[in-house]
Structure 1
Amino acid sequence: MSLHPRRAGWRFQWATVLWLTVVWVLLWGQVTWGNVVNGVLLGLLVTAGLRMTRVEFRGRVHPVGLLVLLGRFALDLVRASFEVSLVALRPRHTPRGAVICVQLRSHSDLYLTLTAELVSLVPGSIIVEAHRLTGRLYVHVLDVETSGGVEKARQNVLDQEARLLRALASDEELAEAGLQRSRRAGEVTSR
Protein backbone atom coordinates (compact mmCIF):
# COMPACT_ATOMS: atom_id res chain seq x y z
CA MET A 1 0.00 0.00 0.00
CA SER A 2 1.28 3.47 -0.92
CA LEU A 3 1.91 6.19 1.60
CA HIS A 4 0.19 8.64 -0.74
CA PRO A 5 -2.96 6.96 -2.05
CA ARG A 6 -4.67 8.61 -5.00
CA ARG A 7 -7.61 10.75 -4.18
CA ALA A 8 -10.97 9.11 -4.70
CA GLY A 9 -12.75 10.53 -7.74
CA TRP A 10 -12.14 13.87 -9.38
CA ARG A 11 -11.93 16.12 -6.37
CA PHE A 12 -10.03 19.32 -7.03
CA GLN A 13 -8.49 21.90 -4.83
CA TRP A 14 -10.10 24.96 -6.32
CA ALA A 15 -7.80 27.44 -4.57
CA THR A 16 -4.82 25.63 -6.10
CA VAL A 17 -6.45 25.65 -9.55
CA LEU A 18 -7.12 29.39 -9.22
CA TRP A 19 -3.55 30.07 -8.06
CA LEU A 20 -2.04 28.01 -10.90
CA THR A 21 -4.25 29.86 -13.38
CA VAL A 22 -3.05 33.23 -12.09
CA VAL A 23 0.59 32.12 -12.28
CA TRP A 24 0.05 30.79 -15.83
CA VAL A 25 -1.47 34.09 -16.98
CA LEU A 26 1.34 36.06 -15.31
CA LEU A 27 3.95 33.89 -17.03
CA TRP A 28 2.43 34.61 -20.42
CA GLY A 29 2.16 38.33 -19.61
CA GLN A 30 -1.27 38.81 -21.19
CA VAL A 31 -4.78 38.32 -19.90
CA THR A 32 -6.53 36.59 -22.79
CA TRP A 33 -9.32 34.02 -22.87
CA GLY A 34 -6.90 31.45 -24.25
CA ASN A 35 -4.39 32.00 -21.43
CA VAL A 36 -7.11 31.83 -18.76
CA VAL A 37 -8.70 28.67 -20.20
CA ASN A 38 -5.30 27.01 -20.62
CA GLY A 39 -4.38 28.02 -17.06
CA VAL A 40 -7.58 26.48 -15.69
CA LEU A 41 -7.03 23.28 -17.71
CA LEU A 42 -3.42 23.07 -16.57
CA GLY A 43 -4.50 23.67 -12.95
CA LEU A 44 -7.10 20.92 -13.20
CA LEU A 45 -4.56 18.56 -14.75
CA VAL A 46 -1.99 19.26 -12.04
CA THR A 47 -4.41 18.90 -9.12
CA ALA A 48 -6.02 15.75 -10.55
CA GLY A 49 -2.85 14.09 -11.83
CA LEU A 50 -0.31 14.76 -9.13
CA ARG A 51 -0.42 13.30 -5.68
CA MET A 52 -0.32 16.25 -3.33
CA THR A 53 -0.65 15.90 0.39
CA ARG A 54 -2.78 18.39 2.19
CA VAL A 55 -0.93 21.17 3.97
CA GLU A 56 -2.57 22.03 7.24
CA PHE A 57 -2.96 25.69 8.00
CA ARG A 58 -4.27 26.25 11.51
CA GLY A 59 -3.37 29.92 11.71
CA ARG A 60 -4.92 33.01 10.28
CA VAL A 61 -3.59 36.06 8.51
CA HIS A 62 -2.70 38.88 10.89
CA PRO A 63 -2.74 42.09 8.77
CA VAL A 64 -0.27 44.06 10.90
CA GLY A 65 2.13 41.12 11.09
CA LEU A 66 1.81 40.59 7.34
CA LEU A 67 2.65 44.25 6.67
CA VAL A 68 5.69 43.99 8.95
CA LEU A 69 6.78 40.77 7.20
CA LEU A 70 6.44 42.23 3.71
CA GLY A 71 7.99 45.57 4.66
CA ARG A 72 10.99 43.99 6.33
CA PHE A 73 11.36 41.53 3.44
CA ALA A 74 11.47 44.43 0.95
CA LEU A 75 14.02 46.22 3.12
CA ASP A 76 16.12 43.03 3.35
CA LEU A 77 16.00 42.66 -0.44
CA VAL A 78 17.34 46.18 -1.00
CA ARG A 79 19.98 45.96 1.73
CA ALA A 80 21.21 42.51 0.68
CA SER A 81 21.32 43.48 -3.01
CA PHE A 82 23.52 46.42 -2.10
CA GLU A 83 25.77 44.25 0.09
CA VAL A 84 26.14 41.55 -2.58
CA SER A 85 27.01 44.17 -5.21
CA LEU A 86 29.69 45.58 -2.88
CA VAL A 87 31.15 42.10 -2.37
CA ALA A 88 31.16 41.49 -6.12
CA LEU A 89 32.76 44.83 -6.97
CA ARG A 90 35.35 44.97 -4.19
CA PRO A 91 38.80 44.43 -5.68
CA ARG A 92 41.01 41.71 -4.20
CA HIS A 93 38.35 40.65 -1.72
CA THR A 94 37.56 36.98 -1.43
CA PRO A 95 34.21 36.46 0.27
CA ARG A 96 34.27 33.99 3.14
CA GLY A 97 31.17 31.88 2.69
CA ALA A 98 29.75 29.44 5.17
CA VAL A 99 27.00 26.87 5.50
CA ILE A 100 25.21 27.30 8.80
CA CYS A 101 22.63 25.11 10.50
CA VAL A 102 19.57 26.87 11.88
CA GLN A 103 17.17 25.02 14.18
CA LEU A 104 13.73 26.54 13.55
CA ARG A 105 11.27 26.95 16.40
CA SER A 106 8.15 25.88 14.52
CA HIS A 107 7.49 22.23 13.67
CA SER A 108 5.14 22.96 10.77
CA ASP A 109 6.10 21.93 7.23
CA LEU A 110 4.31 25.01 5.92
CA TYR A 111 6.30 27.46 8.04
CA LEU A 112 9.56 25.61 7.35
CA THR A 113 8.92 25.90 3.61
CA LEU A 114 7.85 29.54 3.72
CA THR A 115 10.81 30.49 5.90
CA ALA A 116 13.17 28.69 3.52
CA GLU A 117 11.65 30.49 0.53
CA LEU A 118 11.89 33.92 2.15
CA VAL A 119 15.52 33.33 3.16
CA SER A 120 16.46 32.06 -0.30
CA LEU A 121 14.87 35.02 -2.05
CA VAL A 122 17.16 37.46 -0.24
CA PRO A 123 20.43 37.83 -2.20
CA GLY A 124 23.51 36.44 -0.49
CA SER A 125 21.84 33.45 1.13
CA ILE A 126 20.35 30.24 -0.17
CA ILE A 127 18.95 27.12 1.42
CA VAL A 128 21.22 24.15 0.78
CA GLU A 129 19.13 21.60 2.64
CA ALA A 130 15.96 21.47 4.70
CA HIS A 131 15.22 18.67 7.16
CA ARG A 132 11.52 18.49 7.76
CA LEU A 133 11.67 15.93 10.59
CA THR A 134 14.17 17.93 12.65
CA GLY A 135 13.06 21.40 11.52
CA ARG A 136 16.58 22.40 10.50
CA LEU A 137 17.63 24.60 7.62
CA TYR A 138 21.15 24.57 6.24
CA VAL A 139 21.82 28.02 4.81
CA HIS A 140 24.74 29.04 2.61
CA VAL A 141 25.78 32.61 3.38
CA LEU A 142 27.81 34.33 0.64
CA ASP A 143 30.02 36.43 2.92
CA VAL A 144 29.97 35.84 6.65
CA GLU A 145 31.82 39.11 7.35
CA THR A 146 29.24 41.20 5.46
CA SER A 147 26.44 39.32 7.22
CA GLY A 148 27.86 40.22 10.64
CA GLY A 149 29.14 36.75 11.54
CA VAL A 150 27.69 33.27 11.81
CA GLU A 151 25.50 34.00 14.84
CA LYS A 152 24.07 37.14 13.22
CA ALA A 153 23.25 35.19 10.04
CA ARG A 154 21.58 32.48 12.15
CA GLN A 155 19.62 35.12 14.06
CA ASN A 156 18.47 36.71 10.77
CA VAL A 157 16.87 33.40 9.76
CA LEU A 158 15.21 33.02 13.17
CA ASP A 159 13.95 36.61 12.98
CA GLN A 160 12.49 35.91 9.55
CA GLU A 161 10.71 32.85 10.96
CA ALA A 162 9.36 34.91 13.88
CA ARG A 163 8.00 37.57 11.50
CA LEU A 164 6.39 34.83 9.40
CA LEU A 165 4.80 33.25 12.47
CA ARG A 166 3.58 36.66 13.62
CA ALA A 167 1.95 37.15 10.22
CA LEU A 168 0.33 33.74 9.80
CA ALA A 169 0.40 31.56 12.92
CA SER A 170 -2.31 31.02 15.48
CA ASP A 171 -1.66 31.79 19.13
CA GLU A 172 -1.31 28.05 19.82
CA GLU A 173 1.32 27.69 17.09
CA LEU A 174 3.19 30.66 18.52
CA ALA A 175 3.15 29.04 21.95
CA GLU A 176 4.38 25.72 20.47
CA ALA A 177 7.25 27.62 18.84
CA GLY A 178 8.17 29.23 22.16
CA LEU A 179 6.99 32.66 21.06
CA GLN A 180 4.27 34.85 22.41
CA ARG A 181 2.33 37.74 20.97
CA SER A 182 2.84 40.92 22.95
CA ARG A 183 0.10 43.45 23.49
CA ARG A 184 1.65 45.90 21.04
CA ALA A 185 0.36 45.54 17.45
CA GLY A 186 1.25 41.92 16.80
CA GLU A 187 4.81 41.98 18.15
CA VAL A 188 6.27 38.57 18.94
CA THR A 189 8.79 37.99 21.67
CA SER A 190 10.61 34.88 22.80
CA ARG A 191 9.73 33.30 26.08
Structure 2
Amino acid sequence: MSADPMTPGQPVEPQDPPLTRRARRRNLATAVVFLVAVWVLLWGTFTWANVISGLVVVAVLLTVFPLPPVTFAGRIHPWGLLRFTGRFLVDLVVASAQIAGLALRFGHTPRGAIIAVPLRIASDLNLTLTAEALSLVPGSLILEADRSTGTLYIHVLGVHTLDDVERFRRSVLALEERIIAAIGSPDEQRRMAAATRTGPPPADLEGAPT
Protein backbone atom coordinates (compact mmCIF):
# COMPACT_ATOMS: atom_id res chain seq x y z
CA MET A 1 0.00 0.00 0.00
CA SER A 2 1.43 3.39 -0.96
CA ALA A 3 1.98 6.02 1.71
CA ASP A 4 -0.51 8.83 2.02
CA PRO A 5 1.17 12.00 0.70
CA MET A 6 -0.61 14.02 3.40
CA THR A 7 0.62 11.88 6.32
CA PRO A 8 1.67 14.16 9.21
CA GLY A 9 5.41 14.41 9.59
CA GLN A 10 6.11 13.52 5.96
CA PRO A 11 7.88 16.38 4.12
CA VAL A 12 5.81 17.98 1.40
CA GLU A 13 7.64 19.52 -1.50
CA PRO A 14 6.91 23.25 -1.68
CA GLN A 15 5.19 24.55 -4.77
CA ASP A 16 6.60 27.56 -6.58
CA PRO A 17 4.19 30.50 -6.55
CA PRO A 18 2.87 31.60 -9.95
CA LEU A 19 4.84 34.35 -11.64
CA THR A 20 3.36 37.83 -11.58
CA ARG A 21 2.98 39.84 -14.77
CA ARG A 22 5.89 42.04 -13.72
CA ALA A 23 8.11 38.98 -13.09
CA ARG A 24 7.19 37.53 -16.50
CA ARG A 25 8.11 40.81 -18.21
CA ARG A 26 11.39 40.96 -16.31
CA ASN A 27 12.26 37.37 -17.24
CA LEU A 28 11.38 38.02 -20.87
CA ALA A 29 13.58 41.13 -20.98
CA THR A 30 16.45 39.19 -19.36
CA ALA A 31 16.07 36.38 -21.91
CA VAL A 32 16.07 38.84 -24.83
CA VAL A 33 19.21 40.63 -23.63
CA PHE A 34 21.06 37.38 -22.96
CA LEU A 35 20.09 35.73 -26.27
CA VAL A 36 20.99 38.83 -28.30
CA ALA A 37 24.36 38.95 -26.51
CA VAL A 38 24.95 35.30 -27.44
CA TRP A 39 23.99 36.04 -31.06
CA VAL A 40 26.48 38.93 -31.25
CA LEU A 41 29.21 36.80 -29.65
CA LEU A 42 28.62 34.04 -32.19
CA TRP A 43 29.08 36.54 -35.03
CA GLY A 44 32.23 37.83 -33.32
CA THR A 45 31.61 41.51 -34.17
CA PHE A 46 29.48 44.13 -32.43
CA THR A 47 27.55 46.03 -35.09
CA TRP A 48 24.05 47.49 -35.15
CA ALA A 49 23.21 45.09 -37.98
CA ASN A 50 24.09 42.12 -35.75
CA VAL A 51 22.11 43.57 -32.84
CA ILE A 52 19.02 44.22 -34.97
CA SER A 53 19.19 40.82 -36.69
CA GLY A 54 19.63 39.24 -33.25
CA LEU A 55 16.49 40.98 -32.00
CA VAL A 56 14.56 39.67 -35.00
CA VAL A 57 15.84 36.10 -34.53
CA VAL A 58 15.14 36.19 -30.78
CA ALA A 59 11.62 37.54 -31.34
CA VAL A 60 10.87 34.67 -33.74
CA LEU A 61 12.39 32.08 -31.38
CA LEU A 62 10.48 33.31 -28.33
CA THR A 63 7.25 33.39 -30.33
CA VAL A 64 7.60 29.92 -31.84
CA PHE A 65 9.34 28.32 -28.84
CA PRO A 66 8.21 30.20 -25.72
CA LEU A 67 10.50 29.75 -22.74
CA PRO A 68 9.28 27.99 -19.58
CA PRO A 69 8.64 30.26 -16.57
CA VAL A 70 12.14 30.17 -15.03
CA THR A 71 12.32 32.45 -12.01
CA PHE A 72 15.46 34.46 -11.38
CA ALA A 73 15.73 34.37 -7.59
CA GLY A 74 19.16 35.92 -7.26
CA ARG A 75 20.62 39.35 -7.86
CA ILE A 76 23.59 40.81 -9.67
CA HIS A 77 26.81 40.79 -7.63
CA PRO A 78 29.19 43.28 -9.33
CA TRP A 79 32.46 41.77 -8.08
CA GLY A 80 31.33 38.24 -8.91
CA LEU A 81 30.14 39.36 -12.35
CA LEU A 82 33.46 41.10 -13.03
CA ARG A 83 35.36 37.97 -11.94
CA PHE A 84 33.20 35.75 -14.16
CA THR A 85 33.58 38.05 -17.19
CA GLY A 86 37.35 38.39 -16.82
CA ARG A 87 37.93 34.65 -16.45
CA PHE A 88 35.55 33.89 -19.33
CA LEU A 89 37.50 36.18 -21.67
CA VAL A 90 40.78 34.55 -20.61
CA ASP A 91 39.33 31.06 -21.18
CA LEU A 92 38.06 32.17 -24.59
CA VAL A 93 41.51 33.35 -25.71
CA VAL A 94 43.36 30.33 -24.29
CA ALA A 95 40.91 27.82 -25.78
CA SER A 96 41.05 29.54 -29.19
CA ALA A 97 44.85 29.32 -29.17
CA GLN A 98 44.73 25.64 -28.17
CA ILE A 99 42.26 24.78 -30.96
CA ALA A 100 44.39 26.70 -33.46
CA GLY A 101 47.41 24.71 -32.30
CA LEU A 102 45.55 21.43 -32.82
CA ALA A 103 44.48 22.52 -36.31
CA LEU A 104 48.08 23.32 -37.28
CA ARG A 105 49.46 19.95 -36.15
CA PHE A 106 49.38 18.17 -39.50
CA GLY A 107 49.08 14.40 -39.34
CA HIS A 108 47.85 14.51 -35.77
CA THR A 109 44.33 13.25 -35.00
CA PRO A 110 42.92 15.11 -31.98
CA ARG A 111 41.43 12.88 -29.30
CA GLY A 112 38.25 13.78 -27.51
CA ALA A 113 35.94 12.59 -24.77
CA ILE A 114 32.30 12.84 -23.78
CA ILE A 115 32.32 13.95 -20.15
CA ALA A 116 29.33 13.89 -17.80
CA VAL A 117 29.43 16.72 -15.26
CA PRO A 118 26.67 16.84 -12.59
CA LEU A 119 26.22 20.43 -11.45
CA ARG A 120 25.86 21.24 -7.77
CA ILE A 121 23.02 23.77 -8.00
CA ALA A 122 20.01 22.09 -9.60
CA SER A 123 18.15 24.93 -11.28
CA ASP A 124 17.09 25.48 -14.89
CA LEU A 125 18.77 28.89 -14.97
CA ASN A 126 22.10 27.61 -13.68
CA LEU A 127 22.01 24.65 -16.06
CA THR A 128 21.26 26.94 -19.02
CA LEU A 129 23.87 29.61 -18.21
CA THR A 130 26.61 27.06 -17.57
CA ALA A 131 25.80 25.23 -20.81
CA GLU A 132 25.76 28.49 -22.80
CA ALA A 133 29.07 29.66 -21.34
CA LEU A 134 30.70 26.32 -22.18
CA SER A 135 29.28 26.33 -25.72
CA LEU A 136 30.85 29.73 -26.44
CA VAL A 137 34.35 28.45 -25.58
CA PRO A 138 36.03 26.67 -28.55
CA GLY A 139 36.76 23.00 -28.04
CA SER A 140 33.70 22.11 -25.96
CA LEU A 141 30.23 21.25 -27.23
CA ILE A 142 27.11 20.48 -25.18
CA LEU A 143 25.61 17.20 -26.39
CA GLU A 144 22.84 16.89 -23.80
CA ALA A 145 21.57 18.57 -20.67
CA ASP A 146 19.70 16.30 -18.26
CA ARG A 147 17.30 18.57 -16.43
CA SER A 148 16.18 15.90 -13.95
CA THR A 149 19.70 15.35 -12.57
CA GLY A 150 21.31 18.69 -13.47
CA THR A 151 23.97 16.91 -15.54
CA LEU A 152 25.72 18.26 -18.63
CA TYR A 153 27.17 15.87 -21.24
CA ILE A 154 30.00 17.66 -23.00
CA HIS A 155 32.21 16.66 -25.93
CA VAL A 156 35.72 18.00 -25.38
CA LEU A 157 38.70 18.08 -27.75
CA GLY A 158 42.31 17.61 -26.71
CA VAL A 159 41.64 15.03 -23.99
CA HIS A 160 44.22 12.25 -23.71
CA THR A 161 44.12 10.83 -20.17
CA LEU A 162 41.72 10.42 -17.27
CA ASP A 163 43.62 13.23 -15.55
CA ASP A 164 42.58 15.50 -18.44
CA VAL A 165 38.97 14.37 -17.93
CA GLU A 166 39.08 15.19 -14.23
CA ARG A 167 40.78 18.53 -14.92
CA PHE A 168 38.01 19.51 -17.33
CA ARG A 169 35.31 18.45 -14.85
CA ARG A 170 36.89 20.66 -12.20
CA SER A 171 36.97 23.57 -14.65
CA VAL A 172 33.24 23.18 -15.34
CA LEU A 173 32.47 23.14 -11.62
CA ALA A 174 34.66 26.23 -11.16
CA LEU A 175 32.70 27.93 -13.97
CA GLU A 176 29.43 27.04 -12.23
CA GLU A 177 30.80 28.47 -8.98
CA ARG A 178 31.67 31.77 -10.71
CA ILE A 179 28.17 31.99 -12.23
CA ILE A 180 26.55 31.48 -8.82
CA ALA A 181 28.92 34.07 -7.33
CA ALA A 182 27.84 36.51 -10.06
CA ILE A 183 24.05 36.11 -10.01
CA GLY A 184 23.15 33.49 -7.40
CA SER A 185 20.69 33.96 -4.56
CA PRO A 186 22.00 33.89 -0.95
CA ASP A 187 20.64 30.34 -0.56
CA GLU A 188 22.39 29.18 -3.75
CA GLN A 189 25.64 30.76 -2.62
CA ARG A 190 25.40 29.03 0.77
CA ARG A 191 24.75 25.67 -0.91
CA MET A 192 27.62 26.26 -3.32
CA ALA A 193 29.98 27.07 -0.42
CA ALA A 194 28.91 23.85 1.34
CA ALA A 195 29.37 21.79 -1.84
CA THR A 196 32.81 23.33 -2.42
CA ARG A 197 33.91 22.34 1.08
CA THR A 198 32.80 18.72 0.61
CA GLY A 199 34.48 18.48 -2.80
CA PRO A 200 33.18 17.28 -6.20
CA PRO A 201 31.50 13.88 -6.64
CA PRO A 202 33.58 10.94 -7.91
CA ALA A 203 34.53 11.06 -11.58
CA ASP A 204 32.19 9.36 -14.05
CA LEU A 205 34.08 6.82 -16.17
CA GLU A 206 31.85 7.84 -19.09
CA GLY A 207 34.37 10.61 -19.52
CA ALA A 208 37.12 8.22 -20.64
CA PRO A 209 39.00 9.50 -23.70
CA THR A 210 38.04 8.03 -27.06
TM-score by length of 2: 0.66
Structure 2 CA distance for partners of 1:166 and 1:14, relative to 1, 3 Å: closer
Give distance in 2, aligned partners of 1:117 and 1:111.
10
CA separation in 1, counterparts of 2:171 and 2:31? 30
% identity of equivalent residues: 44
Q: Does 1:123 align with 2:130?
A: no
Tell me, what secondary structure is at the counterpart of 1:91? coil
Alignment of structure 1 residues 60-99 onto 2, 5 Å:
60-99=75-114
Contact in 1 for aligned 2:27/2:72 (Cα 8 Å): no
Aligned length: 167
SS at match of 2:109: coil
Aligned: 1:159 with 2:166: no
**Residue of structure 2 equivalent to 1:185:** none
Question: Which stretch of the first structure deviates more once superposed, 78-87 or 46-55?
Answer: 46-55
Deviations 1:21-57 (A, max 9, x none): 8949x799548xxx6xxx69x85x8767764322111
TM-score, scaled relative to structure 1: 0.72
Q: What is the root-mean-square deviation of aligned Cα atoms in Å?
A: 3.7
> Are 1:13 and 2:25 an aligned pair?
yes
Q: Which aligned pairs between 1:171-186 and structure 2 lie closer than 5 A?
A: 171-177=186-192, 179=193
Compute the displacement of 1:91 (Å). 2.1
Distance change (3 Å), C-alpha of 1:23 and 1:155: closer
Q: Where in structure 2 are there 5+ consecutive unaligned residues?
A: 1-18, 199-210
Deviation at 1:146, TM superposition (A): 9.7
